[in-house]
């Protein structure tokens, strides 16, 4: 594996008395596609939310591109990160949310241009070109002037993916991108993510319950339970021949419910 672009070093995250991440060690290589699976409450989404700076950590250090994310280096010591540091670090990351979280008061195109214009300082026409390219990529060119509530869930999530890509992140985080969708709309979203995975050297970190999909797109699958990685490996090994009993139980339960 090349130098890790993401590294969790003994990270602890607690919500009150509940320990979500328990001294988690976890790495993702540059350009690697990693899927996290596991039962709910295992801390999978928390990993993404910490990376997107939506949740702080209690102990340990998270590195993105070799730099501590939630800390700053000062005189050789690590101190809690300032907002300015977080802003700089956030440039490298993009996130796709389970509930899409599109801006309902903006048209589809404006959802894609707003942050590039205001945050990255792109001109309106540059941002518009970038938006139109991305809309073409996700197959929504004809929906550019509509508002999010005029789109289906699958279309909204494709806008969500395009919106995150418009910021040109190095790492894309997908937080259960198809869990809020009707079953017949899951495919169109997975197709977009699959194309991203095969055609780009983006680093991708996915949390999903779509096992078949995880198997197709990932370089590596991590099984999380109780805030730790129980087992990880290439998809074929982990899905067909898991080493740990806990992984086997989980996969059995999930695959039975899918059948």
Partner 1 sequence: MEWTSYLPPLLEGAWVTVQLAVYSTVLGAVFAFAAGIGKLSHNRLISGISVVYIEVFRGTSLLVQLFWLYFALPVAGQIIGIDLRLPPVVAGILALALNIGAYGAEVVRGAIQAVSRSQREAARALNFTPRQTLRWILIPQALPEMMPTFGNLAIQNLKDTALVSLISLGDLAFRAEQIRNFTQDSTTIYTIVLFMYFGMALVLTAMMKLLERSVGRWRTAGT
Residue placing its CB nearer to partner 1 in the complex, 143 or 208 = 143
* E strand or H helix at 112: helix 108-118
Residue placing its CB nearer to partner 1 in the complex, 95 or 197 = 95
Asked whether position 95 contacts partner 1 by CB under 8 A, the answer is yes
Residue placing its CB nearer to partner 1 in the complex, 129 or 150 = 150
User: Per CB under 8 A, which of residues 37..76 are in contact with partner 1?
Assistant: 52-54
- Please list, residue by residue across 69-107, b when 16 or more beta carbons sit within 10 angstroms of its beta carbon and e when fewer do: bbbbeeeeeeeebeeebeeebbebbbbbbbebebeeeeb
| CA 17 from centre of chain | 26
Packing angle, helices 153-165 and 183-199, rounded to 10: 20
Residue placing its CB nearer to partner 1 in the complex, 117 or 197 = 117
Cβ(215)–Cβ(161) under 8 Å? no
Residue placing its CB nearer to partner 1 in the complex, 74 or 105 = 105
- Kindly report the number of other CB atoms within 10 A of residue 26's CB atom: 21
User: Per CB under 8 A, which of residues 134..193 are in contact with partner 1?
Assistant: 146-147, 149-150, 163-164, 167
Of the candidate residues 1, 78, 79, 119, the single one contacting partner 1 (CB under 8 A) = 119
Cβ(235)–Cβ(37) under 8 Å? no
In the complex, the smallest distance separating the C-beta of residue 98 from partner 1, rounded to whole angstroms, is: 9
* Residue ranges that bind partner 1, judged by CB under 8 A: 52-54, 87, 90-91, 93-95, 97, 99, 101-106, 114-115, 118-119, 146-147, 149-150, 163-164, 167
């Amino acid at each position: 594996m090349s130098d890790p672009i993401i590294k969790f070093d003994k990270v602890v995250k607690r919500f009150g008395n509940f320990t979500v991440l328990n001294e988690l060690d976890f790495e993702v290589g540059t350009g690697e596609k990693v899927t996290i699976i596991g039962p709910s409450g295992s801390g999978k989404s928390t990993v993404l939310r910490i990376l997107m700076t939506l949740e702080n950590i209690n102990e340990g250090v998270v590195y993105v591109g070799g730099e501590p994310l939630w800390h700053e280096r000062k005189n050789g010591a690590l101190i809690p990160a300032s907002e300015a540091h977080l802003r700089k670090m956030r440039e490298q990351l993009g996130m796709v949310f389970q509930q899409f979280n599109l801006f309902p008061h903006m048209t589809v195109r404006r959802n894609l241009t707003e942050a590039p214009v205001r945050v990255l300082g792109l001109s309106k026409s540059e941002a518009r070109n970038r938006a139109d390219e991305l809309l073409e990529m996700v197959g929504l060119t004809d929906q550019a002037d509509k508002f999010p509530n005029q789109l289906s869930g699958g279309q909204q999530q494709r806008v969500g993916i395009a919106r995150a890509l418009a910021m040109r992140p190095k790492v894309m985080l997908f937080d259960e991108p198809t869990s809020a969708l009707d079953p017949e709309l899951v495919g169109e979203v997975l197709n977009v993510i699959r194309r991203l995975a095969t055609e780009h050297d983006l680093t991708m970190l996915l949390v999903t319950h779509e096992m078949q999909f995880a198997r197709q797109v990932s370089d590596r699958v991590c099984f999380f339970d109780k805030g730790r990685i129980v087992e990880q490996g290439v998809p074929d090994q982990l899905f067909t021949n898991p080493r740990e009993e806990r992984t086997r139980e989980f996969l059995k339960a999930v695959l039975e419910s899918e059948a």
